[in-house]
Amino acid sequence: MSLLEVRNVNKSYGGRGRSSGIPVLRDVSFALEAGESLGLVGESGSGKTTLIKIVVGLERPDSGDVLYEGVERSSASRSTRRGFSKDVQLVFQDPVSSLNPRMTVRQLVEEGLVIHGLAGDRSGRTERVAEVLSLVGLDPDQMERLPSSFSGGQCQRIAIARALAVSPRVLVCDEAVSALDVSIQAQILNLLADMREQLGISLFFVAHDLAVVRYLCPRVMVMSRGTIVEEGPREQIFGDPQHEYTRALLEAVPVPTPVRR
């Protein structure tokens, strides 16, 4: 059984009935295994963010389902769905605007712990906040500061700490580094790779930047106009693409050899 499975998902926007409107996702199916890094690439408007919203439960599919540990979300109980939303955490594109500017780092990282009743009382939570801040390379002594006193790269570390605080099994990243400078991108990518390795979590990493996906993800899916047109090991996708659309995508953007540590 896969950790997470997307089964025959369809989604349209703008219509009133079930399948009217503009189709954005068409019969999308894939599985994510425990501890795996899976990448999703595709041009702007191909449906990547829509798929992510459905995976994390921010949107409902018109048809099809998302299964977590073999349980369909649509038919799961409320408490099962809560567990699901704890276990599958999202990191957004723009770290600065995704963090509430009025909340301190402590409050931001603590929020999920409070919502899910984790880490015990206030002192237990403080300990956990300090622990995850250290994990992502931030100084726990700075937890009473506001996001505005941190750089873009540091804010993305805060967002990652916030997601990791609740001990998720899957980290879903939507263009998680595209708003950052290239040198900072490399640091955040290395951090994500480390977290996957150290904590054994799965990554579902969505980006339009092919080099970034190639660096992080051994398995890659290619999406075009709401359909997954090709899926395979990165060596195949980048070295011997089978689908015409993948070839066009690669030709449009030369993929440089990714940075190594």
- Give the one residue of 60, 208, 219, 243 binding ligand ATP; rule: CB under 6 A: 208
Q: Kindly state the smallest distance separating residue 239's Cβ from Mg ion, in Å.
A: 26
Q: Which does 47 bind (CB under 5 to 8 A by kind): ligand ATP, Mg ion, none?
A: ligand ATP
Of 39 and 42, CB closest to ligand ATP: 42
Under rule CB under 5 A, residue 98 binds Mg ion: no
- Give the one residue of 49, 85, 98, 154 binding Mg ion; rule: CB under 5 A: 49
Q: Kindly state the smallest distance separating residue 209's Cβ from ligand ATP, in Å.
A: 10
Size of the site for Mg ion (CB under 5 A): 2
44-48 LR contacts (CB < 8 Å, sep 24+)? 44/208, 46/223, 46/224, 46/225, 46/226, 47/11, 47/223, 47/225, 47/226, 48/174, 48/206, 48/208, 48/223
Under rule CB under 5 A, residue 46 binds Mg ion: no
Region from 47-55, 94-102, 162-170, 192-200 binding Mg ion, contact rule CB under 5 A? 47-55
The maximal CA–CA distance of the chain, rounded, in angstroms, is 56
Q: Which does 45 bind (CB under 5 to 8 A by kind): Mg ion, ligand ATP, none?
A: ligand ATP
Q: Kindly state the smallest distance separating residue 207's Cβ from ligand ATP, in Å.
A: 8
- Give the one residue of 10, 36, 38, 50 binding ligand ATP; rule: CB under 6 A: 50
Residue 30 to residue 129: CA distance in whole angstroms: 34
- Give the one residue of 10, 39, 48, 205 binding ligand ATP; rule: CB under 6 A: 48
Q: Which amino acid is at 185?
A: Q
Size of the site for ligand ATP (CB under 6 A): 12
Residue nearest Mg ion, CB atom distance:
49
Paired residues of 71 in beta bridges = 68
> What residues numbered 2-41 form the site for ligand ATP, per CB under 6 A?
13-14, 24
Sheet bearing 227-233, strands edge to edge: 88-91, 170-174, 202-206, 37-42, 219-224, 227-233
Residue 32 to residue 202: CA distance in whole angstroms: 8
Region from 42-50, 128-136, 193-201, 231-239 binding ligand ATP, contact rule CB under 6 A? 42-50
Q: Which does 24 bind (CB under 5 to 8 A by kind): ligand ATP, Mg ion, none?
A: ligand ATP
Q: Are 176 and 39 in contact (CB under 8 A)?
A: no
- Give the one residue of 46, 89, 156, 187 binding ligand ATP; rule: CB under 6 A: 46
Binding residues for Mg ion, per CB under 5 A?
48-49
